[in-house]
Each structure stands twice: as structure tokens, then as C-alpha cells.
Amino acid sequence: KQEVTQIPAALSVPEGENLVLNCSFTDSAIYNLQWFRQDPGKGLTSLLLIQSSQREQTSGRLNASLDKSSGRSTLYIAASQPGDSATYLCAVPNYGGATNKLIFGTGTLLAVQP
């Protein structure tokens, strides 16, 4: 059974710092991994989708890496800004039988202090 863990659970940094969020998964046979951002009370915004054949994916100040063999992904945020404050979630799809569903990590609550 796939389990996804995120460390740390919460993180507070001053504006301008570079930071790394971690995501671990127990079953390395994944098709892809997706990083989301969630603002309080809002839906999930997709940040990056990284395929199993890729090592990393970049979008602006965000860079996600994937190491299937070790069951780990990291989300690197460069030059953090107060607007980056949110909960960050990683998720992997579970294709059990004919179904599609996402297995989510527990999330990292990020606070960037001005």
C-alpha cells in the first residue's frame, strides 16, 4: 500500500531564503508525482507534474526533483516571498485496478516572514 510522507510538517523562513520541501513515498513504482499548493480554505493549485522518466521539472522559482529508486521528491523554492506562504502537498497516483486516485502526503505548512 502506497504511503506518502512530507517533512517538515511546518516551516517558517524569512523572505528571500531558498528552501526545500521533502516528499517520500513507499512504493517506487509510480507513474508520476504532482506538487500542489493550497491556500487556506481554497482548492489545490497544481505547481509541477514530474513524470517517472524525469529527474526534475522547473517552473519559475520552483524546481521539483524525483528519485524513484530512493522513493523521494523534493520541491525547491528559490528566493522565497511572503506570497509563497501556503500548504504544499505532494501526491502520487494509485492505479489499483481500473481506478485513478491520488495518494496525498500530509503537507508542509510554509510561512514566509516579510
Partner 1 sequence: KAGVTQTPRYLIKTRGQQVTLSCSPISGHRSVSWYQQTPGQGLQFLFEYFSETQRNKGNFPGRFSGRQFSNSRSEMNVSTLELGDSALYLCASSGSTGRQPGYGYTFGSGTRLTVV
Report in angstroms how near the CB of residue 107 gets to partner 1 at its nearest: 7
Q: Is 107 in the site for partner 1 (CB under 8 A)?
A: yes
Binder to partner 1 among 36, 73, 75, 80 (CB under 8 A)? 36
**DSSP-assigned states of every residue in 35-63:** EEEE-TTS-EEEEEEEETT-SEEEETTEE
- Interaction of residue 1 with partner 1, rule CB under 8 A: no
Contact 91, 106 (CB under 8 A): no
Min dist CB 106 to partner 1, Å, is 6
67 forms beta bridges with 72
Interface with partner 1, residue 51, by CB under 8 A: yes
By the rule CB under 8 A, 41 interacts with partner 1: yes
DSSP three-state, residue 9: coil
State yes or no: residue 58 binds partner 1 (CB under 8 A): no
Looking at 43, 60, 83, 114, which residue binds partner 1 (CB under 8 A)?
43
Sheet containing strand 56-59, strands side by side: 4-7, 19-25, 72-77, 62-67, 56-59
> Which helix (H) or strand (E) segment is 32 a member of?
strand 32-38
By CB under 8 A, name the binding residues for partner 1: 31-32, 34, 36, 41-46, 49, 51-53, 89, 91, 93, 95-102, 104, 106-107
